Copies of this chain bind each other. A is one copy, B any other.
Amino acid sequence: MNLLLLEDRDFIDEHQVRLNGRRLAHMQAIQQVAVGDSLRVGRINGLMGQGEVTALEQDHAELRIQLDTPPPAKLPLTLLLAMPRPKMFRRILQHCATLGVPEIILLNSYRVEKSFWQTPFLQPDVIRENLLLGLEQARDTVLPRVRIEKRFKPFVEDSLPGLINNQLALVAHPGDYPACPRGIEEPLTLAIGPEGGWIPYEVEKLVEAGMQPVQLGERILRVETAVTALLARLY
Protein backbone atom coordinates (compact mmCIF):
# COMPACT_ATOMS: atom_id res chain seq x y z
CA MET A 1 0.00 0.00 0.00
CA ASN A 2 1.89 3.06 -1.27
CA LEU A 3 -1.07 5.37 -0.68
CA LEU A 4 -3.77 5.21 1.96
CA LEU A 5 -7.03 5.81 0.09
CA LEU A 6 -9.82 7.61 1.94
CA GLU A 7 -13.55 7.20 1.35
CA ASP A 8 -15.92 10.14 1.74
CA ARG A 9 -17.53 8.35 4.67
CA ASP A 10 -14.15 8.21 6.51
CA PHE A 11 -14.20 12.00 6.99
CA ILE A 12 -15.53 13.05 10.38
CA ASP A 13 -14.81 16.66 9.49
CA GLU A 14 -13.03 18.42 6.63
CA HIS A 15 -9.50 17.60 7.87
CA GLN A 16 -10.06 14.52 10.02
CA VAL A 17 -10.71 10.87 9.16
CA ARG A 18 -11.48 7.78 11.20
CA LEU A 19 -10.42 4.36 9.79
CA ASN A 20 -10.97 0.71 10.66
CA GLY A 21 -10.98 -2.69 8.93
CA ARG A 22 -8.38 -3.57 6.26
CA ARG A 23 -6.66 -0.19 6.26
CA LEU A 24 -6.34 -0.11 10.05
CA ALA A 25 -4.99 -3.67 10.07
CA HIS A 26 -2.45 -2.75 7.38
CA MET A 27 -1.31 0.33 9.34
CA GLN A 28 -0.87 -1.79 12.46
CA ALA A 29 0.58 -5.02 11.09
CA ILE A 30 2.57 -4.00 8.02
CA GLN A 31 3.36 -0.31 8.37
CA GLN A 32 3.57 -0.46 12.20
CA VAL A 33 2.63 3.19 12.47
CA ALA A 34 2.52 5.13 15.73
CA VAL A 35 0.71 8.28 16.83
CA GLY A 36 2.50 11.25 15.25
CA ASP A 37 3.58 9.36 12.12
CA SER A 38 2.78 10.87 8.77
CA LEU A 39 1.39 8.77 5.89
CA ARG A 40 0.75 9.45 2.21
CA VAL A 41 -3.01 9.65 1.74
CA GLY A 42 -5.44 10.35 -1.07
CA ARG A 43 -9.17 10.98 -1.20
CA ILE A 44 -10.85 8.64 -3.68
CA ASN A 45 -11.46 10.61 -6.90
CA GLY A 46 -9.79 13.62 -5.24
CA LEU A 47 -6.47 15.10 -4.15
CA MET A 48 -3.50 13.43 -2.47
CA GLY A 49 -1.45 14.64 0.49
CA GLN A 50 -0.38 13.73 4.02
CA GLY A 51 -2.19 12.27 7.00
CA GLU A 52 -0.80 12.56 10.52
CA VAL A 53 -1.88 9.81 12.89
CA THR A 54 -3.58 11.51 15.83
CA ALA A 55 -5.11 8.45 17.50
CA LEU A 56 -4.46 4.72 17.21
CA GLU A 57 -6.70 2.27 19.06
CA GLN A 58 -7.47 -1.44 18.70
CA ASP A 59 -10.57 -0.76 16.64
CA HIS A 60 -9.90 2.54 14.88
CA ALA A 61 -7.32 5.14 13.91
CA GLU A 62 -7.73 8.88 13.42
CA LEU A 63 -5.66 11.02 11.08
CA ARG A 64 -5.42 14.76 10.45
CA ILE A 65 -5.49 15.21 6.69
CA GLN A 66 -3.85 17.79 4.41
CA LEU A 67 -4.70 17.33 0.71
CA ASP A 68 -2.87 19.48 -1.85
CA THR A 69 -1.51 17.33 -4.71
CA PRO A 70 -3.43 16.29 -7.84
CA PRO A 71 -3.25 12.57 -8.74
CA PRO A 72 -1.09 11.56 -11.74
CA ALA A 73 -2.55 11.95 -15.22
CA LYS A 74 -4.44 9.01 -16.71
CA LEU A 75 -3.55 7.53 -20.10
CA PRO A 76 -5.70 8.98 -22.95
CA LEU A 77 -7.17 5.55 -23.52
CA THR A 78 -10.31 3.47 -23.68
CA LEU A 79 -9.53 -0.22 -23.20
CA LEU A 80 -11.88 -2.67 -24.86
CA LEU A 81 -11.16 -6.02 -23.25
CA ALA A 82 -12.70 -9.40 -24.02
CA MET A 83 -13.93 -10.62 -20.63
CA PRO A 84 -10.96 -12.51 -19.12
CA ARG A 85 -10.99 -15.75 -17.15
CA PRO A 86 -12.11 -14.82 -13.60
CA LYS A 87 -8.86 -15.65 -11.76
CA MET A 88 -7.00 -13.40 -14.20
CA PHE A 89 -9.72 -10.75 -14.25
CA ARG A 90 -9.02 -9.45 -10.75
CA ARG A 91 -5.31 -9.06 -11.45
CA ILE A 92 -6.03 -7.33 -14.76
CA LEU A 93 -8.30 -4.82 -13.00
CA GLN A 94 -5.47 -4.09 -10.57
CA HIS A 95 -2.89 -3.74 -13.38
CA CYS A 96 -5.19 -1.41 -15.34
CA ALA A 97 -5.77 0.84 -12.32
CA THR A 98 -2.03 0.87 -11.56
CA LEU A 99 -1.07 1.71 -15.14
CA GLY A 100 -3.54 4.61 -15.41
CA VAL A 101 -6.31 3.23 -17.63
CA PRO A 102 -9.32 5.55 -17.15
CA GLU A 103 -11.98 3.44 -18.88
CA ILE A 104 -12.42 -0.30 -19.36
CA ILE A 105 -15.15 -1.88 -21.45
CA LEU A 106 -15.60 -5.61 -20.87
CA LEU A 107 -16.83 -7.17 -24.08
CA ASN A 108 -18.13 -10.57 -25.04
CA SER A 109 -16.29 -12.58 -27.69
CA TYR A 110 -16.70 -16.02 -29.22
CA ARG A 111 -13.86 -17.42 -27.09
CA VAL A 112 -15.14 -15.93 -23.82
CA GLU A 113 -16.64 -18.85 -21.92
CA LYS A 114 -20.24 -18.17 -20.82
CA SER A 115 -19.30 -19.02 -17.23
CA PHE A 116 -16.88 -16.04 -17.11
CA TRP A 117 -19.88 -13.72 -16.96
CA GLN A 118 -21.19 -15.49 -13.85
CA THR A 119 -18.14 -14.70 -11.70
CA PRO A 120 -18.78 -12.85 -8.42
CA PHE A 121 -15.71 -10.76 -9.30
CA LEU A 122 -17.99 -8.81 -11.67
CA GLN A 123 -20.04 -7.48 -8.76
CA PRO A 124 -19.55 -3.70 -8.53
CA ASP A 125 -18.10 -3.79 -5.01
CA VAL A 126 -15.54 -6.47 -5.99
CA ILE A 127 -14.56 -4.54 -9.12
CA ARG A 128 -14.17 -1.40 -7.02
CA GLU A 129 -12.07 -3.20 -4.39
CA ASN A 130 -9.64 -4.50 -7.01
CA LEU A 131 -9.39 -1.12 -8.71
CA LEU A 132 -8.61 0.47 -5.33
CA LEU A 133 -5.80 -2.06 -4.79
CA GLY A 134 -4.31 -0.99 -8.12
CA LEU A 135 -4.66 2.72 -7.30
CA GLU A 136 -3.02 2.25 -3.87
CA GLN A 137 -0.08 0.59 -5.60
CA ALA A 138 0.41 3.35 -8.19
CA ARG A 139 -0.43 6.30 -5.91
CA ASP A 140 -3.50 7.42 -7.80
CA THR A 141 -6.96 8.29 -6.49
CA VAL A 142 -9.22 8.27 -9.53
CA LEU A 143 -11.27 5.10 -10.06
CA PRO A 144 -11.37 3.83 -13.65
CA ARG A 145 -14.86 3.42 -15.11
CA VAL A 146 -15.81 -0.16 -15.94
CA ARG A 147 -18.61 -0.92 -18.37
CA ILE A 148 -20.01 -4.32 -19.31
CA GLU A 149 -21.07 -5.09 -22.89
CA LYS A 150 -22.28 -8.66 -23.20
CA ARG A 151 -23.36 -8.44 -26.85
CA PHE A 152 -20.44 -8.12 -29.25
CA LYS A 153 -22.21 -7.32 -32.50
CA PRO A 154 -24.60 -4.54 -31.39
CA PHE A 155 -21.84 -2.89 -29.36
CA VAL A 156 -19.28 -3.01 -32.18
CA GLU A 157 -21.76 -1.94 -34.87
CA ASP A 158 -23.72 0.70 -33.00
CA SER A 159 -21.52 2.11 -30.20
CA LEU A 160 -17.89 1.55 -31.16
CA PRO A 161 -17.66 3.89 -34.18
CA GLY A 162 -18.92 6.81 -32.06
CA LEU A 163 -16.52 5.89 -29.27
CA ILE A 164 -13.58 5.79 -31.69
CA ASN A 165 -14.82 9.05 -33.22
CA ASN A 166 -12.24 9.02 -36.03
CA GLN A 167 -9.34 8.89 -33.57
CA LEU A 168 -6.63 6.23 -33.32
CA ALA A 169 -8.06 2.77 -32.64
CA LEU A 170 -6.04 -0.45 -32.56
CA VAL A 171 -6.91 -4.10 -32.19
CA ALA A 172 -4.07 -6.30 -30.94
CA HIS A 173 -4.06 -9.54 -32.88
CA PRO A 174 -1.31 -11.99 -33.86
CA GLY A 175 -0.77 -12.18 -37.60
CA ASP A 176 0.72 -10.45 -40.58
CA TYR A 177 -0.09 -6.93 -39.36
CA PRO A 178 2.02 -3.82 -38.71
CA ALA A 179 3.91 -3.82 -35.40
CA CYS A 180 2.14 -2.04 -32.55
CA PRO A 181 3.31 1.62 -32.50
CA ARG A 182 5.46 3.02 -29.69
CA GLY A 183 5.37 6.15 -27.58
CA ILE A 184 2.16 7.67 -28.91
CA GLU A 185 0.54 10.63 -27.18
CA GLU A 186 -2.85 10.83 -28.87
CA PRO A 187 -6.16 9.42 -27.59
CA LEU A 188 -6.59 5.75 -28.37
CA THR A 189 -9.18 2.99 -28.26
CA LEU A 190 -7.36 -0.33 -27.81
CA ALA A 191 -9.03 -3.74 -28.14
CA ILE A 192 -7.42 -6.82 -26.55
CA GLY A 193 -8.92 -10.24 -27.24
CA PRO A 194 -9.51 -13.28 -25.04
CA GLU A 195 -7.15 -16.22 -24.51
CA GLY A 196 -6.94 -17.83 -27.93
CA GLY A 197 -7.59 -14.47 -29.59
CA TRP A 198 -10.48 -12.87 -31.45
CA ILE A 199 -12.01 -15.01 -34.18
CA PRO A 200 -11.58 -13.71 -37.78
CA TYR A 201 -15.20 -12.46 -37.89
CA GLU A 202 -14.60 -10.37 -34.78
CA VAL A 203 -11.40 -8.83 -36.18
CA GLU A 204 -13.36 -8.02 -39.34
CA LYS A 205 -16.13 -6.30 -37.38
CA LEU A 206 -13.63 -4.33 -35.26
CA VAL A 207 -11.85 -3.19 -38.44
CA GLU A 208 -15.20 -2.18 -40.00
CA ALA A 209 -15.85 -0.08 -36.89
CA GLY A 210 -12.57 1.78 -37.45
CA MET A 211 -9.84 -0.25 -35.74
CA GLN A 212 -6.44 -1.12 -37.24
CA PRO A 213 -4.95 -4.54 -36.43
CA VAL A 214 -1.44 -4.50 -34.95
CA GLN A 215 0.76 -7.27 -33.61
CA LEU A 216 3.32 -7.64 -30.84
CA GLY A 217 5.64 -10.28 -32.32
CA GLU A 218 5.52 -14.05 -32.60
CA ARG A 219 5.47 -14.84 -28.89
CA ILE A 220 1.98 -15.55 -27.57
CA LEU A 221 1.33 -13.61 -24.36
CA ARG A 222 -1.23 -14.30 -21.67
CA VAL A 223 -3.93 -11.62 -21.67
CA GLU A 224 -2.60 -10.28 -18.40
CA THR A 225 0.91 -9.91 -19.82
CA ALA A 226 -0.41 -8.49 -23.10
CA VAL A 227 -2.33 -5.70 -21.32
CA THR A 228 0.78 -4.48 -19.49
CA ALA A 229 3.07 -4.99 -22.51
CA LEU A 230 0.79 -3.10 -24.90
CA LEU A 231 0.25 -0.14 -22.56
CA ALA A 232 3.97 0.10 -21.71
CA ARG A 233 4.88 0.08 -25.39
CA LEU A 234 2.17 2.50 -26.50
CA TYR A 235 2.71 5.19 -23.83
Contact = CB atoms under 8 A, between A and B. Distances in A.
Contacts of A138: 219-221
Tallying the copies of this chain within the complex gives: 2
Given A182-B182, A182-B183, A183-B182, A228 B218 contact: no
A140 interface: yes
A170 to B, nearest CB: 15
Contact of A218 (B72, B182, B183, B220): B72
Nearest to A2: B220
Given A182-B182, A182-B183, A183-B182, A232 B222 contact: no
Interface string A9-34: 00000000000000000000000000
A233 B218 CA distance: 16
A100 interface: yes
Contacts of A218: 72, 139
Contacts of A225: 95, 98-99, 228
A126 interface: no
A230 interface: yes
A218 B100 CA distance: 11
A35 interface: no
A54 interface: no
A16 to B, nearest CB: 27
A66 interface: no
Interface in A150-186: 182-183
A148 interface: no
A229 interface: yes
A29 to B, nearest CB: 15
A38 interface: no
Interface string A189-230: 000000000000000000000000000111111100100111
Interface string A111-134: 000000000000000000000000
A3 to B, nearest CB: 9
A206 to B, nearest CB: 22
A45 interface: no
A86 to B, nearest CB: 17
5 contacts: A98-B221, A137-B220, A138-B220, A228-B232, A232-B232
